[in-house]
Chains A and B, each alone.
Chain A
């Protein structure tokens, strides 16, 4: 019965034009492509307006680090919005958990196990992740089992956890952070250098090719229609070029001269004529964000949990009638969100080298905006992790580009606000056309 299926699919595709045939063969998500197109236009515009300062390795590298924290949270926000919920408390949870991690490593652990103990960072991070999971679970329990709307519960959470962040130290800023913990924030130390960046790049390329081959083999197992070979090769090539290109850019951003000098002195290296160039490579927070994105994509597309999340978003009643424990799934989503807030909190406290009670203020709005610009529908049931992460990059590109152009902060907010509304409007038109 699969043979007629193949011939029918072929017959259909031969009716299409060449562009449509290309999209059908590659099964590319046109909406995601549109977003990448918008991102490219924004980048080129800033490049032009700033006289070539935007698309430099340095600026792109910084952009990637600045995006990480919100990108991590956006991956969880997708699942929350997909199930027709919302989380307004993520910025406050980030602040509170950041404070907890700061106090743990700067005040508790030095007294218990000594200053700069090698296990400090992991204990602090562990405490943060558990705190985040408990907060998320608590809010999720109220939403799922007590039936209070997520908007209200997390609006309350926004105030409660911000207040709690202040309460931890009565508003005092906690610093400095443990030096290993600080690696999670990026900077010359918190990057993996040229060699390991290439290793990551090559591993990623192998994984891309492996995934394409595997999915092809899976479809072959049951004799399903498959993408043409050229389309598969094209997808693999594009994936690999993007990954290796990103690595190359990260590797052409070199350490600032002052840090190189210090490093050379400390390691007894004489700086050769023409200078010593040490590559940053990929920043650790970026790796964390990419890992979070991959894990969340896996969860949402390859596991039962992810399937239930989307089914619940599409039709909550049907999910219930299918025997899905929708309340427990909802609670799990909020637990995951709490954990992601903790990870984002670790990134931003490490980057700042301090925990402050104002950390993450307004991040909830950036996170929601990233998810929505990334194609997550507030009506539920639709959204991708990759889209939300690109949405986060887009938001950060706008604000860092405007900083580069020297625009005033009020004007920046106006532009970001307008972009959000226009993006969702365009998305509405797109969906109406394709539906």
Chain B
């Protein structure tokens, strides 16, 4: 990884406030093709908020977002998707009462030449993509509320990778999963990474992500404490960043670092 490359995503000096509380305060973060960046921090550190700005769910007060070096106007989720930014939300954001195919294509339905929904074609690709992620999955006719936690998670992941994402945001992707499914997600992340997709991995648990990430970025109180290549710091040092906001020598300090 050379930093002379143009970053896939470059968020600079992002701020957002909710009723006087600065949830994100001058945060900058970047992501290169084929790279996994783990965004770490306590609950309420501002990592989900920062990432929701990138995915278009929140509108930032300040700062710029560049995609492939060019400034991008991201004002709603549709804009973000147009830039190839796909998000797997912590809450999964599935419409519980409709089936898997309808969820995969929500907002981007396949249509017949007569302008009606092409349910059969959607079910077809749903079976294909789900077959890759979760070969034992068969319940294509049931509403997703009837599915197990792991199955719902695979639906959310399938939705994100179905549309040739270039940037994938995963917010606590393994929170609802058992060990075997967590390993599967790990495999998937490696595979997507080898395809050149950039991935933001958000977690409050460092052990979940440390072995998957190339770099870590730590947030505290809405500010970036620092970023570091995984090889330059150890887990204890990263824990120190998360808990105390103390930047170790191997990391590049950010505005939130404590001296």
Residues in A lying within 8 Å of B, measured CB to CB: 1-2, 5, 8-9, 218-219, 221-222, 224, 298, 301-304, 307, 310-315, 317-324, 381-382, 435
Contact = CB atoms under 8 A, between A and B. Distances in A.
B117 A310 contact: no
A304 B109 contact: yes
Contacts of B89: 321
Interface of B: 55-57, 76-78, 81, 87, 89, 91-98, 102, 106-109, 111, 115-117, 120-121, 123-124, 127-128, 131, 138, 143, 145-146
Contacts, number: 91
A323 B123 contact: no
Contacts of B115: 303
Nearest to B82: A323
B106 A324 contact: yes
B127 A323 contact: no
A224 B91 CA distance: 31
Contacts of A302: 116-117
B117 A314 contact: no
B256 to A, nearest CB: 28
Contact of A304 (B97, B117, B120, B131): B117
A313 B96 CA distance: 9
A324 B107 contact: yes
B106 A322 contact: yes
Given A221-B120, A222-B120, A304-B109, A318 B95 contact: yes
Given A9-B138, A311-B106, A320-B77, 5 more contacts: A222-B123, A304-B109, A307-B109, A321-B77, A322-B107
Given A323-B76, A323-B77, A318 B106 contact: yes
A381 B106 contact: no
Contact of A381 (B92, B97, B121, B138): B97
Contacts of B106: 307, 311, 318-319, 322, 324
A224 B106 CA distance: 22
Contacts of A304: 109, 111, 117
A360 B94 CA distance: 39
Contact of B117 (A303, A315, A435): A303
A323 B81 contact: yes
Nearest to A8: B138
B109 A1 contact: no
A338 B223 CA distance: 50
B97 to A, nearest CB: 3
27 contacts: A222-B120, A222-B121, A224-B120, A302-B116, A303-B115, A304-B117, A310-B95, A310-B98, A311-B106, A313-B97, A314-B95, A314-B98, A315-B93, A315-B97, A317-B93, A319-B95, A319-B106, A320-B77, A321-B77, A322-B77, A322-B107, A323-B56, A323-B78, A323-B107, A381-B95, A382-B97, A435-B146
B107 A315 contact: no
B107 A224 contact: no
Contacts of B124: 222, 224
A382 B143 CA distance: 11
Given A323-B107, A381-B96, A311 B77 contact: no
Contacts of A311: 95, 97-98, 102, 106
A298 B106 CA distance: 18
Given A222-B124, A322-B106, A303 B116 contact: yes
A219 B107 contact: no
B138 A5 contact: yes
A311 B121 CA distance: 19
